[in-house]
Copies of this chain bind each other. A is one copy, B any other.
Amino acid sequence: MVRPNSPHRGLRRIDLSRQTGCNIETIRYYETIGLMPDPPRSPKGYRIYSNEHVSRLNFVMRARALGFTLDEIRGLLALVDGGRHSCAEVRDLASQHLENVREKIRDLRRVETVLATTIGQCSGTDAPDCPVIEALSDSLA
């Protein structure tokens, strides 16, 4: 069950997708927004990828998994591509992102507390007075 060879021995879109786990449509999206380079094409216009593309896409996906926005990733890639990336510059980007993550965690913990407290006051019966609804209504404004 070997897949037919790719044109010119390069990787096709589906190969890149499988090797990275990235959705096949997402790859094209990253190309149109310039996060991934436009790959060379076969005579009939088929994209031909190399291991370079695999590496870069893996980089992007790991950064996404850490919650970096595509714009932040663009910044990281620019530093890498420039070859002149200093540790300090990268660390600044990452530190800023870490601070954002921590803030989001703080926000969510506050939300968690409010929700858990309110739900805890709930009788769980068919009572028409619901503490959750009341907490959301003007009565507690």
Contacts and interface: CB of A to CB of B under 8 A. Distances in A.
B55 A137 contact: yes
Contacts of A55: 137-138
Interface string A111-128: 110111011001111111
Contact of A91 (B85, B86, B108, B130): B130
Determine how many copies of this chain the complex contains. 2
A112 B127 contact: no
Interface residues of A, number: 51
Most buried by B among A55, A66, A123: A66
A115 B137 contact: no
Nearest to A112: B101
A14 interface: no
A92 to B, nearest CB: 10
Given A87-B123, A118-B94, A122-B91, A66 B133 contact: no
Interface stretch (A5-13, A25-33, A38-46, A56-64): A56-64
